[in-house]
């Protein structure tokens, strides 16, 4: 009901459930859940991170497939909740060595703080666990402070969660190709909401058939 309501906000539980589905669909990537950033950096404006609180999240047994390092993934997605009222996304492209943001209310003065916090996280992760099979070094990563062309923005105050999931899906499906975004209208948003509901319903049906 919340998903189908055009003014319905997406909760962390809904976003996490969809991310879990995407993790199965794209095991080459890593999809952190909505708790990750809040644990890593409770006060982004101070740009102080607490790596020890989330260090266990990238142990080999918690990574997808045969992956033994975060830096052996292709892309890493980090949904962020801003002060309980807005969702945005920071993406780490391991192969291209960049850290980007996707914010449907851009420009947002907080985005640079989020980027800097994740940059510090990447550095700490390399120091503590190494740079994966490629031996990646911290200085190889760069922060991208501008969104790609045609990244759609929200037209109201309730679609930020839908937009974050849309950004993640477009980036995931693009693989190593350049992600192609386009502007969206109300009909597109309505279809996306319905599509998420359909994915959940199909997952429930599949689970019931197995049991």
The pLDDT tens digits for 62-91 are: 999 888 999 999 999 999 999 999 999 999
What is the structure's pLDDT at 206?
75
Whether residue 107 has a cis bond before it, omega within 30° of 0: yes
Name 100's bridge partners. Answer: 91
CA–CA distance, 15 with 87 (Å, rounded to integer): 10
Residue 71 tokens, joined: 């830096």
Please tell me the predicted confidence (pLDDT) of residue 205. Answer: 74
Amino acid 160: pLDDT: 95
Q: Kindly give the parts of the chain with pLDDT less than 70.
A: 1-4, 6, 208-211
Task: Using alpha carbons, list the distances in angstroms from residue 129 to 19, 71, 137, 181.
Answer: 24, 9, 11, 34
Q: With CA atoms as reference, report the closest residue to 34 among 48, 17, 16.
A: 16
Alpha-carbon span 56 to 25, nearest angstrom: 23
Hey, CA dihedral for 184, 177, 77, 109, is it positive or negative? Answer: negative
């Amino acid at each position: 009901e919340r998903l189908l309501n055009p003014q319905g906000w997406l909760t962390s539980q809904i976003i996490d459930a969809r991310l879990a589905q995407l993790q199965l669909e794209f095991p080459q990537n890593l999809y952190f859940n909505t708790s990750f950033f809040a644990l890593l950096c409770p006060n982004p404006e101070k740009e102080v991170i607490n790596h020890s609180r989330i260090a266990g999240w990238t142990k080999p047994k918690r990574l997808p497939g045969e992956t033994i390092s975060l830096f052996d993934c292709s892309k890493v997605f980090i949904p962020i909740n801003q002060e309980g009222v807005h969702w945005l996304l920071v993406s780490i492209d391991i192969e291209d060595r960049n850290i980007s943001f996707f914010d449907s209310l851009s420009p947002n003065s907080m985005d640079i703080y989020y980027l800097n916090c994740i940059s510090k996280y990447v550095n700490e992760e390399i120091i503590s666990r190494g740079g994966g099979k490629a031996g990646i070094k911290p200085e190889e990563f760069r922060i991208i402070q501008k969104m790609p062309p045609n990244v759609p923005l929200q037209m109201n105050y309730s679609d930020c969660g839908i937009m974050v999931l849309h950004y993640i899906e477009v980036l995931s499906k693009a693989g190593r190709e350049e992600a192609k975004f386009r502007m969206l209208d109300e009909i597109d948003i309505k279809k996306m909401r319905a599509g998420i509901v359909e994915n959940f319903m199909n997952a429930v049906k599949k689970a019931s058939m197995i049991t």
